[in-house]
Structure 1
Amino acid sequence: MAATLLKKVLNTAALLTLMAGASAAFAHAHLEQSTPAADSTVNTADQLRLVFTEGVEQAFTKVVVTHDQAPVALSSIKTEPANKKVLIVTPAKPLPVGTYHVKWNAVSVDTHKSAGDYSFTVSN
């Protein structure tokens, strides 16, 4: 009886280990942190920093920032040179007071696609 129970526990542990390894192998670049943070209120935002769980391909990663449903002009969207997990988005001019919506589509360095969005507010 104890041997059967032990065998079931070991089989379950082995299965969970295999599943954990498989999920890591098929991981996508998910947004881990953003500055300004999601749902935050800031006094100014001269650049946005999106930090992903894995490196992203700058050329295939897109970010659209809108204010009152109108696109905000961006001067650049670049990965940080020393860390491909960090995407730096620079507006063409300072963001006026209001609520902003950020929509991103990322392609990770292992070519997996992911997408998401969040909002933040600029106030005085």
Structure 2
Amino acid sequence: MAAAFLKKVLNTAALLTLMTGAGAAFAHAHLEQATPAADSTVNSVNELRLVFSEGVEQAFTQVVISHDQAPVPVSSIKTEPGNKKTLIVTPAQPLPAGTYNVKWNAVSVDTHKSAGDYSFTVSN
């Protein structure tokens, strides 16, 4: 009877170990930090920096900035050199005063997709 109990404990432990490893393998790139920060008010914006929990594929990641529901032209979206976790978004022009919404769709380096959005305000 003790052998059967021990076998169940070991099987459960093995299953939990496999499930924990699978969870890490199927992780998505979550937004951990943004500059300007969500719900913040800033004086000026020349670029946005989005820092994800894992590296993102620049070519398959999209960021749309909008103001009054109209898209804001963006001149570039690229990862920081040597750091695929940081995405640098450069608007074509410095952003004038107003409230902006940022929507992002990221594809992590392990090809998993994630999305989100946040807002910030520029004051002059």
Q: TM-score range by the shorter chain?
A: 0.7 to 0.9
1:45-69 C-alpha deviation (Å, 9 max, x unpaired): 1100000111111111000000000
Structure 2 counterparts to residues 25-36 of structure 1, below 5 A: 25-36=25-36
TM-score, scaled relative to structure 2: 0.87
Q: Deviation at 1:20?
A: 2.1
Structure 2 unpaired stretches of 5+: none
Whichever residue aligns with residue 105 of structure 1, its letter is N
Aligned-residue Cα RMSD (Å) equals 2.0
Whole-angstrom CA distance in 2 between matches of 1:100 and 1:108: 25
1:83-123 C-alpha deviation (Å, 9 max, x unpaired): 00100000000101110000000111111111111101111
SS in 1 for 2:54: coil
Whichever residue aligns with residue 122 of structure 1, its letter is V
Aligned-residue identity in percent = 84
Aligned to 1:79: 79
Aligned to 1:52: 52
Q: Deviation at 1:82?
A: 1.0
Aligned to 2:100: 100
Residues paired across the two proteins, number: 124
TM-score, scaled relative to structure 1: 0.87
